[in-house]
Homo-oligomer: A and B are copies of this chain.
Amino acid sequence: MKRTKVAELLQGTALGQDVLLKGWVRTKRGNKFVNFIAVNDGSTINTIQVVADVQQFNEESLKDITTGACIAVTGTLVESQGKGQSVEIQAKNIEVLGLADVETYPLQKKGHSLEFLREIAHLRPRTNTFGAVFRIRHAMSYAVHKFFNDKGFFYVQTPIITGSDAEGAGQMFRVTTLDVANPPKTETGEIDFTQDFFGKSTNLTVSGQLEGEVAAMALGEIYTFGPTFRAENSNTTRHLAEFWMIEPEMAFSDLTDNMDLAEEFLKYLVMYALNNCKDDLQFLNDMYDKELLNRLNFVVTNSFERLEYTQAVEILKTAKQKFEFPVEWGTDLQSEHERYLVEKHFKKPVILTNYPKHIKAFYMKQNEDGKTVRAMDVLFPGIGEIIGGSQREENYEKLSARIKEMGIHEEELWWYLELRKFGTAPHAGFGLGFERLILFITGMGNIRDVIPFPRFPKSAEF
């Protein structure tokens, strides 16, 4: 017999039929006549109840059915007499595939702290919480691809190893095959990177945007979805050294198109989660954050507030709230400012535009005022910045001048500049930090809990 997943069994379409269930024991309870075994197989947060007649099975064999054990059950799917489930399996045969020793298996019935579960990241997907988070993570990944595919965007896998250090988004990890204990040296005593694997110094990418622009200037509308890296010593609940990013890039688009896409995209993702992850979201709402579903529904039903950085600074300067960091035109906004705008002032997601150019990247399109660039940040409740983007500078002379002004090695960007030399066009795009999105959708508080194996300072376990 072929096994049927729990998610399908619970739909009850096989009622009255013999079925084969395989999964892990969550709990076992009962008396000397009957045992009730709750089994989960990861297909859903819900368990199915297996009813085992103690007389039929010898008591000895039921002993091995402990929390965490893996079992295969054949039996009849019947309507449940008990509360909390509509169907259950009346067991005919139970085979223990894998034991879980009661003394040593860490996931016994009692609740565990998220901190403790982080130490056993190889087992935490077996808990209700992490099962829910990782199923939602899957659903969001799929929704990303479906959204863009349906719109005619092409997925581009941009390189992870880069010879450029000009991406400008943060500190980088070196990638090397040189013997660090005894690296080859040049005549002048410097490391001889011509002998490294790629014949030069290489790093892990901080963004696929620049290569994404290459693709957009040929295929029209594209997106990336891949891992990016920051070698920053940030031990916060919102930063990872390795995280996934989604970066759409659109030829023939301006800042308004970009804002429209960002808002449509985020609403689509939230709606997809609401429609496809009901049970998992309900669990997280009940267990962690009673406002989660309200907040998700709020995002899909309200327009994002759009205003300029300059207007936001005015609002913040006249705010009654005291801020730790003072706000003046030209300063970068801190998390406290972003959250004030979103959570207190507008009480909805906010898109800020036209930031001062000196706090933004070299590639952003310069406004006529000479002071600002066509940047946009999307700010979300609880999260702060969830998307950062801009219209790109498509004018060769302006871009080249800005690169020089900022002291970036222009020769590394020859290919990027050539996009402006040959058939240039207005274009725009943004980056969405995937784990920030998952934080928002799940309501979890720590970014280390929404990625299967988090990488952060002093930690690359598993």
Contact = CB atoms under 8 A, between A and B. Distances in A.
Interface of A: 3, 5, 7, 22-25, 41-43, 68-70, 72, 97-101, 104-105, 120-123, 125-126, 130-131, 134-135, 137-138, 141-142, 145, 149, 152, 154-163, 171, 173-178, 180-181, 183, 190-191, 197-200, 202, 204, 211, 214-215, 217-220, 226-227, 229, 231, 241-242, 244, 251-252, 394, 415-416, 418-426, 451-453, 455, 457-462
B177 A178 contact: no
Contacts of A130: 218
Contacts of A214: 121-122, 125, 452, 462
A422 B455 contact: no
A113 to B, nearest CB: 19
A422 B159 contact: no
29 contacts: A3-B252, A5-B220, A22-B251, A23-B220, A25-B423, A42-B154, A70-B425, A97-B425, A98-B422, A100-B423, A101-B421, A104-B422, A121-B214, A125-B214, A126-B217, A137-B157, A142-B145, A156-B452, A158-B452, A160-B160, A161-B204, A161-B242, A163-B462, A173-B197, A174-B174, A197-B457, A198-B458, A214-B462, A226-B226
Contact of A98 (B97, B177, B424): B424
Contacts of A451: 157
Q: How many copies make up the complex?
A: 2
A418 to B, nearest CB: 6
Given A68-B422, A424-B98, A455 B159 contact: yes
A42 B425 CA distance: 14
In the A-B complex, list the 5 residue pairs whose CB atoms are closest, starting with the nearest.
A98-B424, A125-B218, A42-B219, A122-B415, A198-B460
A211 B394 CA distance: 42
A55 B452 CA distance: 65
A12 to B, nearest CB: 17
Given A152-B5, A199-B458, A220-B41, A68 B145 contact: no
B43 A220 contact: yes
Contact of A457 (B42, B142, B178, B198): B198
A163 B163 CA distance: 23
A236 to B, nearest CB: 16
A181 B191 contact: yes
Given A70-B425, A160-B242, A211-B452, A155 B141 contact: yes
A157 B197 contact: no
Contacts of A202: 460
A428 to B, nearest CB: 14
Contact of A422 (B123, B154, B219, B423): B123
Nearest to A202: B460
B415 A215 contact: no
A134 B122 contact: no
Given A72-B252, A159-B455, A181-B190, 8 more contacts: A98-B420, A134-B156, A157-B227, A160-B204, A175-B204, A211-B452, A215-B452, A415-B461
Contact of A138 (B134, B155, B251): B155
A255 to B, nearest CB: 16
B452 A125 contact: no
Nearest to A455: B161
A219 to B, nearest CB: 4
Contacts of A22: 251-252, 425
Contacts of A69: 423
Contacts of A99: 422-424
> Of A98, A100, A130, A420, which is in contact with the most chain B CB atoms at under 10 Å from its CB?
A98
Given A122-B418, A424-B98, A462 B159 contact: yes
